[in-house]
Amino acid sequence: MTNCFDRLTGVGNRIALQQCMTGWIEEAKAFAIVFIDIDSFAYFNDRYGHDQGDILLGQLAVLILQQLPAEAQLFRTGGDEFLVLLPNTPLADAMTFGDRIRMAIAQHCCHFPMQRLEFAPDGRSKEIEFLPTASCSVGLYPEHGQDWMSLMQAVDEAMYKHRTQFGRNQVAVVEG
């Protein structure tokens, strides 16, 4: 049996997401998807190292889990990307949820003990303080895609287009 959990964060992985979405689609269950992309994560990894990036992803997964409604499910789809499935959720509620996640992440100050050769003026090692932000996009089944792959593509394209036009740390909606 294939492992369906992300080893780093403990949430469902892309395989679990595909299985869940496919099952809900076969049941004709309406749902919203909220795609979450951590802004400037590559910069963080480059500056502070992948070990610190892993810690950040774990902290953010816990933060997102704390915001989930009872029936919602969280998945890590890769790198710095998460996706939440919200069963029987109208677009306006999914947008509100996406904004709540975005704001919770923006208000979460992450602290990391510094493990690199960076020191405070007094010679002591210092701690990293990082304020992450996230960009989100929202889509609905069946309105924005008829299968899991088309839904994933729709929210990914909506986020890319919105980010290019309006910048980061916002919530985009799939058009159409």
The residues annotated with a catalytic role in the active site are 80
76: Cβ contacts below 8 Å, ≥ 6 apart = 6, 8, 9, 11, 12, 13, 14, 57, 61, 82
Question: What Cα–Cα distance (Å) separates residue 84 from each residue in 25, 67, 126?
Answer: 15, 11, 35
> CA-CA distance, 140 to 146, in Å (whole number)?
10
Q: How far is the C-alpha of 176 from the C-alpha of 163, rounded, in Å?
A: 18
Backbone angles phi, psi at 32, to 5 degrees: -110, 150
Residue type, 148: W
Half-sphere exposure in the Cβ direction for 67 (13 Å, CA): 24
Q: How far apart are CA 176 and CA 167, in angstroms?
A: 21
